[in-house]
Structure 1
Amino acid sequence: MKSIQSSLTDWMQNSSLRERLDRAMQELLTDPFVQSALQRNPDINQESIEQGLVKLYEFRKESYHCETCPGLADCPNMMKGYRPELISQKGALDLHYHPCHLKREEDEKKQQQQLMRSLYVPKEILEASFDTLDRDQDRAEACRKALAFALHANPGENGEGLYLYGKFGVGKTHIMGAVMNALKSRRIGSMIVYTPDFFREMKQAIGDGSFQQKLDMVKSVQVLILDDIGAETISGWIRDDVLGAILQHRMLEKLPTLFTSNYDYEELEEHLAYSDRGGTEELKAKRIMERIKHFTAFVTVEGKNRRSR
């Protein structure tokens, strides 16, 4: 019985088969993905190419999969969510796989959700988009300003965000969901937290030792959305050491913060002035509000209560 190597030698000596292999190899080598990869590895020679044809075919196939990406859930690559990189190791072809931006975003989201329960957002909010958003006359101006923010936000260069004010159920959070998805298409990271749950969670984090990790994550995300601020039970510690610390860092780093609230600026300042030690602390509340006012555009969201349908 012939060995595999002997059989391969016989095949290669077959002129017809050799011609077909040569044509296939030339077609492969003229592929733009393959050419670009070979140019980045000038030490690869003809012998390396012939010995590494299988890897070259794999590289081309999976590169085109990435170019026409059907989404992470339907990724056809052997390693779902990973894209190939052609490299040379001592002149031999090899492939390394790196997570694509969709895989990195999913992993980061899972890590965030494992760390913070208050990041849970209803599915309908996560799926909101400006294409499907109900932009009736009452909400047209708010949708326009939200879309303008999503299209032009530049974290690190411009820290101005939005403050969506409106009564209960008018769709403020849905608008923020559309903002998040528009930012995602620009590969800008965002995070939305339901503020009352977030502040309760931060209190508990003191006991389990995760406080600083959670605080740092919220402080440093490119775009932060604090949903329903003012609905929480306020305390001096929450106001000064949590909210104040977050806003101060984001202001200095020019990272946009967006808010939704049933309170306008003046009503929120009154809410933040409450002291659990008795009385009010108007100066401390004013300091917080100055940061919010200076770095947000106030937007009124009108309309009927959509949750009462």
Structure 2
Amino acid sequence: MESIKESVKQMPGFEKFQEKYELMKQQVLTDPKVMRFLRENPDISDAHADKLLSSFYTFKNEQQACSNCPGLDRCPNLMQGYRSELTRVRQTVELRYKPCELKLHDEHKKSMASLIKSYFIPKEILGATFDRLYKHSIDDTRRNAISKAYEFVQMAGTNQPLKGIYFYGKFGVGKTYLLGAIANGLAEKGIHSLMVHTPEFLREMKQSLSDGSFDTKMELLKTVPVLMLDDIGAENMTNWVRDEIIGVILQYRMMEKLPTLYTSNCDYDMLQQHLSYSQKGGLDEVKALRIMERIKHLSSPVFMGGNKNFRDEF
């Protein structure tokens, strides 16, 4: 009976296939990196090398792809974002994979993103960095605010007491962007933070009473290692918002010594006046003062000025 091998040899086109195979084999075995591996492992015979041709072929192609990297999203390698390596394992050779620099950078970004939670914060703010802040024109008050923010990040995670910051100033001076830079700086150190646009978030808290998520959201704001309340003072103030949400959150954070940061268009006096409004008419100055004492206990005021609109610089 004729063997399978002999039958294959008699198939039409076998000779051309054989020629292409031999050419491919020569290209693989003369590849500089494959040749170096074979020199470093002289006990691999020619016959053994022939059996390893498939692994050598994959290694050669993937190394060439890495040399002309098209980017992580278009990586043509078998395992996207990984480099193959020829590894000697006892009497054979295996292909093992390690993440490339782009893959490691991407994983780092995703890891950082997982440390930053946000509600109603624009994406460009979540990508803020101190480097970008310093590259743009800043006056003395902005420079001081950036310095205070950077000091906060440096102090975070140490055993030293950490007080929050109350950034205040007019619209568009970069207060929210600065919170984003702080959040990313904290993420670099592995510290969780939460940024919320206060007016929108408080509206959502009212709705969460009906969907059953109120307690979960309150617990998150109370216990997150670093809380950032953006644009406080711009919300529609009610007794319930002031006493049952803001007051409860800040009381817990004050007792647990958890730092809280704020941005506002109001200074302390203006914010106290805003908090004092009562739905029943008149002013509830005592309760407003109680909230302000918690805010002052948890933060130091830092003014941000400037004649240029920070948003126009990006």
Q: What is the deviation of 1:17? A: 3.1
- Decide which of 249, 258, 261 is 1:258's aligned counterpart: 261
- Decide which of 210, 216, 219 is 1:207's aligned counterpart: 210
Distance 1:53-1:257 versus aligned 2 partners, 3 A rule: farther
**In 1: Cα distance, 2:233 partner to 2:150 partner:** 24
| Structure 2 residue 121 is the aligned partner of structure 1 residue 121 | yes
Report SS of the residue matched to 1:304. Answer: coil
Q: Which residue of 2 aligns with 1:137?
A: 139
- Contact map agreement 1:161 1:295 (CA 8 A) in 2: yes
Gaps of 5+ in 1: 2-14, 22-48, 73-100, 114-118
- Contact map agreement 1:234 1:272 (CA 8 A) in 2: yes
Q: Which runs of 4 or more aligned residues in structure 1 lie more than 6 Å from their structure 2 counterparts after TM superposition?
A: none
Q: Which residue of 1 aligns with 2:173?
A: 170
Q: Which residue of 1 aligns with 2:304?
A: 301
**In 1: Cα distance, 2:204 partner to 2:306 partner:** 32
Deviation digits for residues 168-224 of structure 1 (CA, Å, limit 9, x no counterpart): 111111111111111111111111111000111101111111101111112121111
**In 2: Cα distance, 1:263 partner to 1:150 partner:** 24
- Contact map agreement 2:276 2:287 (CA 8 A) in 1: yes
Q: What is the deviation of 1:67? A: 11
**In 2: Cα distance, 1:130 partner to 1:278 partner:** 44
**In 1: Cα distance, 2:114 partner to 2:304 partner:** 34
Write out aligned runs for 1:1-309 (5 A).
Answer: 16-17=43-44, 58=96, 61-62=97-98, 65=100, 69-72=104-107, 103=110, 106=113, 119-133=119-133, 134=136, 136-138=138-140, 139-154=142-157, 158-306=161-309, 309=312
Question: How many residues in Structure 1 have an aligned counterpart in Structure 2?
Answer: 230
- Contact map agreement 1:166 1:262 (CA 8 A) in 2: yes
**In 1: Cα distance, 2:175 partner to 2:102 partner:** 36
Report SS of the residue matched to 2:130. Answer: coil
Deviation digits for residues 145-164 of structure 1 (CA, Å, limit 9, x no counterpart): 11111121238863410000
Gaps of 5+ in 2: 4-41, 50-88
Distance 1:107-1:124 versus aligned 2 partners, 3 A rule: closer
Aligned residue identity for 2:132: T
**In 1: Cα distance, 2:305 partner to 2:277 partner:** 28
**In 2: Cα distance, 1:52 partner to 1:130 partner:** 51
Q: What is the deviation of 1:246? A: 0.9
- Contact map agreement 1:155 1:223 (CA 8 A) in 2: no
Q: How high is the sequence identity, in percent, across the aligned residues?
A: 44
- Contact map agreement 1:168 1:305 (CA 8 A) in 2: no
Q: What is the deviation of 1:263? A: 0.6
Report SS of the residue matched to 1:154. Answer: coil
**In 1: Cα distance, 2:115 partner to 2:146 partner:** 28
Aligned residue identity for 2:211: D
Q: What is the deviation of 1:292? A: 0.6
TM (norm. structure 1) is 0.65
**In 1: Cα distance, 2:244 partner to 2:92 partner:** 58
Q: Choose 1 or 2 for highest CA Rg.
A: 2
Q: What is the deviation of 1:53? A: 8.4
**In 2: Cα distance, 1:257 partner to 1:275 partner:** 25
**In 1: Cα distance, 2:215 partner to 2:148 partner:** 34
Aligned-residue Cα RMSD (Å) equals: 3.1
Q: What is the deviation of 1:70? A: 2.3
Aligned residue identity for 1:180: A
Q: Which residue of 1 aligns with 2:18?
A: none
TM (norm. structure 2) is 0.64
